[in-house]
Amino acid sequence: MEHFPYALTRPESDAFVERIEMEFDERGYGLWAVQEPRVTDFAGFVGLHHHDFPAHFTPCVEVGWRLARACWGRGYATEGGRAALRFAFDQLGLPEVVSMTSVVNVRSQAVMRRLSMTHDPADDFDHPNIAAGSHLRRHVLYRMRRPAGLH
């Protein structure tokens, strides 16, 4: 949660899990739990999430990840992100998937580039759910359009 305004409380975390489960039920996609066999039962999550907060690019589907610090640098975000993008384009037929993070989160931006997502600085925005004046408010937006030839 290094690049989030605060860590979730247990009730907030439980409510978030309920929203993830509802998204699977309602939309057929969501955030997948990441496990590291013989190491941890839950390393974090990677997957797809629908957003409709007010912004020039919403509504949208985002590929995103949150991993425990001990699991950083092992390729889970990139591997899971690739699987989520394949699912988004091949199974769901989405025309575009985005990814976003605060401008200070250079690790996630590196994952976005490894996923071959593109960044146009004109798309960057102030996240409406983060307080004005916070160093986390300004966000970069990366995009990937469905590859040609997929229907």
| CATH label of the domain that carries residue 48 | 3.40.630.30
Look up the domain containing 106 and give its range: 10-145
Tens of pLDDT, residue by residue over 50-95, are 999 999 999 999 999 988 888 888 889 999 999 999 999 999 999 9
Residue 107: inside a domain, yes or no?
yes
87-131, pLDDT tens digit by residue? 999 999 999 999 999 999 999 999 999 999 999 999 999 999 999
- 151: in domain: no
Q: Is the pLDDT of residue 40 over 80?
A: no
For residue 140, with 0-12 CB atoms within 10 Å meaning exposed, 13-18 middle and 19 or more buried, which class applies?
A: buried
| Residue 2 placed within a domain | no
Nearest CA to 80 among 67, 61, 90, 94?
A: 67
* Number of domain units in the chain: 1
17 in a domain, yes or no?
A: yes
Q: For residue 5, is it within any domain?
A: no
In a domain, 126, yes or no: yes
